[in-house]
Structure 1
Amino acid sequence: MRQKADEQERAQAPVTHCVPVSGGSRLWAEHRGTGSPVVLLHGAGMDARLWDLVVPELARHHRVVRFDARGLGRSTPPMDLFDDVEDLRAVMDHFELGRPALVGLSMGGETSLDFTLAHPARVSALALVAASVSGHIWPQDPQSAAYAAARRDRDSVRLAELERSIWAPLGHTAPGGELITSMIEDNAQRRIVSEHLCADLGRNATAGLDRIAVPTLVVHGDHDHPEIAAIANSLVAGIPDTSSSRLPGADHYLPLRTPERLTELLLAHLA
């Protein structure tokens, strides 16, 4: 019994990797746990710390891989144009994940959808958390215009301010606030470089939602940007096999605002 317990404890211990990707860059990645594989993808201006409060319980039931997108967190900056869908494929190949479930928040959800449409045989399930979608046309309101201007002007200070006010409106004192602030500040300048070099390949998942043939969970928070709720509704309407949930007390950073409830939903969906 003691030997089995030791083996389980070792399986739960995180193991970090440097995953080689195109152009000589390296992605920081971590895996832990055993069982059916799950890959966690974070949003723009964040890093894999987004999942800190979800991973421990999820890894008790699954083999969990999370990684920092190119140029963010502990990953190296891009040297040339890159494709985030191909970066995801490189991570999956590195860990020899044949057909994992993909759990993506915001930009990570967009990448997950694009990957599933490009490689449908390599995905077993999707969980789209406060997801964006390639091809979606965002409304031209003052907030969105200011956000776009800060990115265009490469103003990292202004971009961090807008990230907090638009996407983390529950503030620093709400659950997860300290880590959210840290991620935003750590990645504000890095994301400008990465977004500038992320190739625009003209993908349009909005036109292909009916081709998503895996069970899909759609989740968003009740304090998120209104357009995220609109996208969630379009995902539910467009993807054939979906379930959905709107979580109270959460803005765009659901895995840190309401980690217990989100983890429950993910475990039920991936069972």
Structure 2
Amino acid sequence: MSQIPSQQPTAGAISVAIKSVSRRVNGLRIHARAAGQGSPVVLLHGWPQTSYAWRKLIPLLAQRHTVIAPDLRGFGDSGKPFSGYDKKTIAGDLFALLQSLGLENACIVGHDMGGQVGYAFAALYPQLTRKFVFIESGLPGFGQENAMNVATGGSWHFGFNMAGDISEELVRGREALFVRHFIRRDTVGTVDPSSISGADIDVYARSLAQPGALRASFSYYRTLFDDRKHNEQFGQTKLEMPVLAIGCEFGYGQGAKTTMEKVATNVSSAIIESSGHYPAEEQPERLASVLLDFFT
């Protein structure tokens, strides 16, 4: 395992060595960042990001916990197969990863698309999920359809990402422009643009420019109707572990809470102030405080 230099969210943060871990599970390579010691916490990034999204949060959590932040199937340094992008299958990747690392259970934290993967994992493997955190996310079958419909104020990118080969061809070579739009947009973007710098955006853009990465990225959207069927099945049995739904003041607000209350019995909630859709990068200390309180 090689070491990835940790980045500090503040001058006073404790330096933490972040290791690079790779495991071959379910027929593909899964890469993850790992740090710290203590009870395990798994961080699942959103779209169109990678485990790099947690770079500011990992050192804050690793002072008390073993932190594992994988690149989900198709992203970052993980494999990019042609299929398997429904969240049920990706939850199976996570299960196999935890087994390979010898972890019997963990607190699962998912942001955006990672929240959908986290929900599938918690529903499939409740015995492995000590607690579940659902950040700035929604679920097909439980309200996300409104966000997918521009006629009800939803975002255009759902349809664009699901369109097929034309999506890849229009974005290819313009990955930085594409990522920058979502991170810097006025609605559900960042409040402070400097919190995700141009260099950070380039990290995500270079990841998307890898062979197969755009196809894999868009496949997370092209499987949403499969996810809806799976979620409707999962939702017949509500989650019983403690669940924390986190929204952001300038993100989706109470949307995560509203969604989790439909599928879980023990839900608490929090709002991260002065943050858009990306609290781990924009308000890492506030997010870490909320998470650490919930974990303990």
TM range (shorter): 0.7 to 0.9
Encode CA deviations 1:222-265: one digit per residue, 9 max, x unaligned.
111x4x63343232465221221111211111100100000000
Output one character per residue of 1:19-72: Cα deviation in whole Å (capped at 9) or x when no partner: 21334x211112211111110000121000111111112011011111111121
Give the deviation of 1:193 after TM superposition. Answer: 1.3
Mark the CA change 1:107 to 1:145 in structure 2 (over 3 Å): closer, same or farther: closer
State the distance in 2 between where 1:231 and 1:248 align: 15
How many residues are treated as equivalent by the alignment?
A: 258
* TM-score normalised by L of structure 1: 0.83
| Residues in 2 aligned to 1:175 and 1:120: alpha-carbon distance in whole angstroms | 35
Q: Provide the residue aligned with 2:246 in structure 1.
A: 219
Q: 8 Å contact 2:32–2:69 — kept in the other structure?
A: yes
Structure 2 residue 105 is matched with structure 1 residue 96: no
User: Which has the larger displacement, 30-39 or 138-147?
Assistant: 138-147
User: Percent same amino acid among aligned pairs?
Assistant: 21
Q: Which runs of 5+ in 1 are unaligned?
A: 1-10
Write the distance in 1 (CA, Å) between the matches of 2:68 and 2:244.
Answer: 19
For the residue of structure 1 that corresponds to 2:30, the secondary structure is strand
Mapped pair 1:112 → 2:118: yes
Aligned to 2:182: 163
Corresponding residue number in structure 2 for 1:242: 267
The CA distance in 2 between the partners of 1:49 and 1:247, in whole Å, is: 20
Structure-1 residue corresponding to 2:12: none
SS in 2 for 1:203: helix
Once the two structures are overlaid, the 10-residue window that deviates more, 228-237 or 253-262, is 228-237
1:49, 1:40 → 2: CA distance? 11
Q: Is the 8 A contact 2:245 2:256 kept in 1?
A: no
Q: 2:4 maps to which residue?
A: none
**Equivalent residue in structure 2 for 1:194, among 195, 216, 221:** 216
Deviation at 1:184, TM superposition (A): 4.4
**1:113 Cα deviation from its structure 2 partner:** 0.9
| Contact 1:12 1:59 (8 Å CA) reproduced | yes
CA–CA separation in structure 2 for the residues paired with 1:106 and 1:75? 18
Aligned Cα root-mean-square deviation (Å): 2.8
Note closer, same or farther for the CA distance 1:264–1:116 as it changes in structure 2 (3 Å cut). Answer: same
Give the letter for the 1:163 counterpart: F
**Equivalent-residue separation in structure 1 for 2:156 and 2:58 (angstroms):** 34
Q: Within the alignment, does 1:204 sit opposite 2:231 as a pair? A: yes
Do the aligned partners of residues 196 and 49 (structure 1) sit closer, same or farther apart at CA in structure 2, a change above 3 Å counting? closer
In 2, distance between residues paired with 1:187 and 1:166?
A: 24
Inter-partner Cα distance in structure 1 for 2:113 and 2:187: 13
Question: What residue is the counterpart of 2:9 in the other structure?
Answer: none
Q: Note if 1:137 corresponds to 2:157.
A: no
Q: Which has the higher helix share?
A: 1
Query: Are 1:147 and 2:138 an aligned pair?
Result: no
Q: String of CA shifts for 1:173-199, please: whole Å, max 9, x gaps.
A: 342343652354234455531145566
Q: Which amino acid aligns with 2:75?
A: L
- Describe the superposition over 1:82-106 as per-residue Cα deviations: whole angstroms up to 9, x where unpaired: 5211111121112111110101101
Name the residue aligned to 2:93: 87
- For residues 34-73 of structure 1, what are the structure 2 equivalents within 5 Å? 34-73=37-76
Closer, same or farther in 2 for the Cα pair 1:127/1:167, shift >3 Å? farther
TM-score for both structures, normalised by structure 2 = 0.77
